[in-house]
Structure 1
Amino acid sequence: MTTFADLGVDQDIIDALSAKGIIDAFPIQEQTIPLGLPGQDIIGQAKTGTGKTFGFGIPVVQRLGVAPAHGVKALIVVPTRELAVQVYEDMDMLTSNRSTSVVAIYGGKAYEGQIDQLKAGAQIVVGTPGRLIDLNNQRLLDLSNATEVVLDEADKMLDLGFLPDIEKIFSKLPTARHTQLFSATMPGPIVALARRFMSNPIHIRANDPDEGLTQANIRHLVYRAHSLDKDEVIARILQADGRGKTVIFTRTKRAAQKLVDELNDRGFNAGAVHGDMSQEARERSMAGFKAGKKDVLIATDVAARGIDVDDVTHVINHTIPDDEKAYLHRAGRTGRAGKTGIAVTFVDWDDLHKWALINRALEFGQPEPVETYSSSPHLFTDLDIPAGTKGRIATAPKTQAVRVQPEKASDAAAEAAAAAPGRSRRRRRGSGGSGDRVGSTFAEGAPATVSPDGSHPAADSAARPADGRGTHDGGGKEHHDGKPAPRRRRRRRGGAAPAGGAAVGA
């Protein structure tokens, strides 16, 4: 194996790498670092997981010197926020023994902190196109002295429609510069971009997660599964012997959130990364996964850019990816840095045609996925799942509503009413008698005492004068002589009152 010292890397950078247990260089680093250090423009064809960040990052840091002047001297452009965070962390580690400062510039976070770091003199900027252009338009980001430029995952930027933004950014850079471009594939627009903005670049192609040893390190399992049984199958896979960190891919943001809720309810420690989450929440979830606080991460394809974790043992495709490129990107999250991994893909009945195309393109030789259920014996043997494993490892505590027996409901209501002083209470109709009145209320604050015969003496005494003569009519009025007011009668048609009765309003 080639060491970084063999490649001419400065000792302080070697020490920073050694502190993280990184001693030997990967193939892409062996090829790019000797060319990048003297300032050769490079086109590197490699995917995430091959070590390309150090391949372009070490030359950038070393060429800036131990103590570069304040102001932006290097620009690294990436397509997604997650990848910006990942590259920022790697560059920050490479400069840990230098005075060089690195800042990440991307959307979804407040401007203030990023602007403060720029004003403080950060020399290396890692950012996404939109926020870079925004800050440059506001004259808060000066790119006129950025002589070290890296364009990472250029083909992904093409897919996301960032190519016009990239051209705008290059127009802000100095003409004399050292440029490195990295892309997994080289479609026509990327080739044209390289010809336009690079000076005699050398094209380097390195092994990536789709090829050679790394591909051989991944075991691919494909199952035809029922959509209603997938969660149960996944829950059993997560209990397989030797299962470490696991990434589960879903097609939609809604499916990702639904699955993380389901797995957490089953007792697993799962987090999510998808577009409906705030940037802060996505970063917290990713940091928890990297630190091992969560060992399951559910992600959508775009949000998964930047999942650069070496100890992922399993990748599960909850839904089949759209094509072979997306499949390889997903599967490439495992089997990294020479380690082994397992990629499990569920194929719905309606998606068999998609799998046929992927199978043919990647030459897997599995045209017919095996029909699989959570109880299928081959599922347990394929993935080393202990016999008898069920789809739940813990029961999440649930709050249960207290149900009141029907015969006790009235008592409970009475107790609740008694517990609320000052609240008006309505009397219920008794078993008969002229003394029971519907619609009358207790006096304010009167105790809700009920005598054995069902009457309310306290309330009655509060509602009547001391001599006991004061009774209420239906309208709540008392006659002037203390006698009950005459009973009101309805007005008949024509306005005539019945004989012997008092007219309404009399």
Structure 2
Amino acid sequence: MFSQFALHERLLKAVAELNFVEPTPVQAAAIPLALQGRDLRVTAQTGSGKTAAFVLPVLNRLVDLKQKRVEIRALILLPTRELAQQTLKEIERFAQFTFIKAGMITGGEDFKEQAAMLRKVPDILVGTPGRMLEQLNAGNLKLEHVQVVVLDEADRMLDMGFSDDVERLCNECPNREQTLLFSATTGGAGLREMIGKVLKTPEHLMLNNVSQLSEGTRQQIITADHNQHKEEIVQWLLANETYQKAIIFTNTRVMADRIYGHLVAKDFKAFVLHGDKDQKDRKLAIERLKQGGAKVLVATDVAARGLDVDGLDLVINFDMPRSGDEYVHRIGRTGRAGNEGLAISLICHGDWNLMSSIERYLKQSFERRVIKEVKGTYSGPKKVKASGKAVGVKKKKTDKKGDKKVAAKKKPANRPKASAPLVSQDGLAPLKRRKPAPAAE
């Protein structure tokens, strides 16, 4: 029960109003330590309730502040606009019975309007690192009195090249008392370096090993001959698979637009989401998907983090993601909060090695699936015999005893024979050959 936590009564009232009864494992592990003021580094699977695990302790810190609201007290950094919007909504839900105010700064919004919002001084500021720095450099953002910093999806921010930006923003908060870092994956050396720089003797909470991530999601692969064949498979799946809502992931914006155009031409209710779309279109795409106005979203990895849509139970990887962590985040859009989901990856010959490396990373083996109506010719790399020899390699002939026969070396044809050296009659000293006499003219 949430009542076991030392949360303010107004926050517990909001929790009850939202029908939160039993805390998830990440909430049960992180909230008590965060309430003690500890620095945390938390790894937990997508859809496990990480947002509430840091929002509630942050609100609890600020709910009884006696100071007049003249400074920003908490800073939450995230990699994408969509995740920032979702986090802001969660803060507003949990803070509904308090006087705490939150604001958001992301790219794609009017710069001057954001500056005006900052002059009102929200208690909590949520945003993406790039636009935060722009407002900081313009003199519109003051962070000297920030008490707590939250880095959500920190590994993704590093992947997007925000490492220096995040470090600088943390340094602009010299009086912070607590730093919380949350992610769905363990990240690499870059993340470990950041942890060493911005966290002070942190408590490490590993709620899931990478091999345990997205256990409620069936993971399948379907082989394809080429991109056009992949499109045929996608259309068959959307027409025949049982699902409420689906996301199709691509690696490029061009491919996302192409697939979206073909689906609309086939009368599928679809929207497209990628970095070239303006903020208005991005909001519209997500809202239509959440409200059921569209059943299918075609997207790049912009939608791979933080997107939480009820009823989203099918993910199709048109292109395999470039890393195991990105794969985890993509398929994490389905099978959330204990629900079941289906993730299907389409594999051409150029995708096989990447798919195999992701299987090794996850310590899992994906289910192979064949759809006879759209079956192609490619089914994976050539098989290898049990003896370890590739199919098609001829065996060397052996004699009856099992010994290998050695073929006699044939002398090259038409090669002139070497003349034997001339020797003296006693057989000791070689004789010099006489030059032939010149022919008579």
Same fold (TM over 0.5): yes
The 5-angstrom pairing of residues 4-43 of structure 1 reads 4-43=2-41
Q: Distance in 2 between matches of 1:186 and 1:135?
A: 29
2:216–2:340 Cα contact (<8 Å) kept: yes
Confirm or deny: 8 A CA contact 1:170 1:197 kept in the other structure. Answer: yes
Larger Rg: 1
Residues 334 and 340, structure 1, Cα contact 8 Å, conserved in 2: yes
Distance 2:256 2:18 in 1: 32
Contact 2:273 2:302 in 1 (8 A): no
- Provide the residue aligned with 2:289 in structure 1: 289
Q: 1:175 to 1:145 in 2, by over 3 A?
A: closer
Percent of paired sites with the same residue: 33
Kindly provide the CA deviation profile for residues 336-355 of structure 1, in whole angstroms up to 9, marking residues without a partner as x.
10000001111012222222
Q: Are the aligned partners of 1:103 and 1:125 in contact in 2 as well (CA < 8 Å)?
A: yes
Q: Map 1:263-274 to 2 at 5 A.
A: 263-274=263-274
Decide whether aligned partners of structure 1 residues 102 and 373 sit closer, same or farther in structure 2, where only a CA change above 3 A counts: farther
What secondary structure is seen at the aligned counterpart in 1 of 2:320? coil
Letter in 2 for 1:222: I
The alpha carbon displacement at 1:29 in A equals: 0.6
Mark the CA change 1:240 to 1:10 in structure 2 (over 3 Å): closer, same or farther.
farther
Amino acid at match of 2:358: I
Task: Please give the alpha-carbon distance, in whole angstroms, between the structure 2 residues aligned to 1:363 and 1:148.
Answer: 36
In structure 2, the partner of 1:179 is: 179
Rounded to whole Å, the distance in 2 between the matches of 1:242 and 1:347 is 21
Report the Cα offset of residue 152 of structure 1. 1.3
Question: Following superposition of structure 1 onto structure 2, how do residues 101-120 of structure 1 map, counting pairs within 5 Å?
Answer: 101-120=101-120
3-state secondary structure, aligned to 1:181: strand
* Shift of residue 66, structure 1, vs aligned partner: 4.8
C-alpha spacing 1:139/1:295, structure 2 compared with 1 (3 Å): same
Contact 1:229 1:374 in 2 (8 A): no
1:135 aligns with 135
Matches within 5 A, 1:370-385: 370=369, 372=371, 374-375=373-374
Corresponding letter in the other structure for 2:41: I
Contact kept in structure 2, 1:66 and 1:99, CA below 8 Å? no
- Tell me by how many angstroms 1:106 deviates: 0.8
Residue by residue over 1:160-180, the C-alpha shift from the partner in whole angstroms, topping out at 9 and shown as x without a partner, is: 221111121122113342111
Asked if 1:145 corresponds to 2:155, the answer is no
Is 1:302 the counterpart of 2:302? The answer is yes
Deviation at 1:40, TM superposition (A): 1.3
Deviation (angstroms), 1:65: 1.2
The answer to whether the 8 A contact 2:220-2:366 is kept is no
The CA distance in 2 between the partners of 1:364 and 1:55, in whole Å, is 29
Q: Is 1:336 the equivalent of 2:336? A: yes
Tell me the equivalent position of 2:216: 217
Contact 2:232–2:374 (CA<8 Å) still a contact in 1? Answer: no
CA 1:117 to 1:196, structure 2 compared with 1: closer, same or farther past 3 Å? same
Residue 206 (1) aligns with residue 202 (2): no
Question: Residue 48 in 1 paired to residue 46 in 2?
Answer: yes
Q: Which runs of 4+ in 1 moved over 6 A?
A: none
- Within 5 Å, give how 1:35-434 maps onto structure 2: 35-66=33-64, 69-70=68-69, 71-183=71-183, 184-207=185-208, 210-212=210-212, 215-226=214-225, 227-240=227-240, 242-366=242-366, 369-370=368-369, 372=371, 374-375=373-374
Shift of residue 264 of structure 1? 1.9
Partner SS for 1:228: helix
Q: Separation in 2 of the partners of 1:160 and 1:282?
A: 19
Measure how far apart 1:191 and its partner are. Answer: 2.6
Change (3 A) 1:8 1:165: same
**In structure 2, how many angstroms separate the alpha carbons of the residues matched to 1:361 and 1:181?**
23
Amino acid at match of 1:337: A
Q: What's the TM-score, normalizing by structure 2?
A: 0.79
Question: SS at 1:216's partner residue?
Answer: coil
Equivalenced residue count is 372
- Structure 1 residues 164-173 or 55-64, which shifts more? 164-173
Structure 1 stretch displaced more, 339-348 or 132-141: 132-141
Q: Structure with the greater relative contact order (CA < 8 A, sep ≥ 6): 1 or 2?
A: 2
CA change 1:261–1:13 in 2 (3 A) is farther
- 8 Å Cα contact 2:214-2:331 kept in structure 1: no
In 2, the alpha carbon distance for the partners of 1:267 and 1:13 equals: 46
The residue matched to 1:238 in structure 2 has which SS? helix
CA contact (8 A) 2:63 2:99 kept: no
Distance 1:31 1:131, change over 3 A: same
CA-CA distance at 1:370 after TM superposition: 4.8
Contact 1:225 1:373 (C-alpha < 8 Å) held by counterparts: no
Secondary structure at the aligned position of 2:179 is classed as strand
Residue range with higher mean Cα deviation, 229-238 or 256-265: 229-238
Aligned match of 2:415: none
Q: In 2, distance between residues paired with 1:129 and 1:140?
A: 15
Distance 1:37 1:72 in 2: 19
Give me the whole-angstrom Cα distance separating, in 2, the residues matched to 1:364 and 1:372: 22
Cα 1:199–1:354 change in 2 (3 A) is: closer
AA at the equivalent of 1:190:
L
Where do 1:440-479 residues align within 5 Å?
A: none
- In the superposition, relative to structure 1, how do residues 243 and 146 fare at CA in structure 2: closer, same or farther (>3 Å)? same
Q: Is the partner of 2:108 in helix, strand or coil? A: coil
CA contact (8 A) 1:225 1:371 kept: no
Residues 35 and 265 from structure 1, CA distance in 2 versus in 1: closer, same or farther, beyond 3 angstroms? same
Check 1:166–1:323 CA distance in 2 against 1; reply closer, same or farther (3 A cut). closer
Q: Distance in 2 between matches of 1:102 and 1:366?
A: 43
SS of aligned partner of 1:322? coil
Q: CA deviation at 1:305?
A: 2.3
Residue 166 of structure 2 aligns to which amino acid in structure 1?
Answer: I
Conserved? CA contact 2:217–2:341, under 8 Å: yes
Distance 1:354 1:177, change over 3 A: same
Structure 2 distance, partners of 1:365, 1:324, is 13
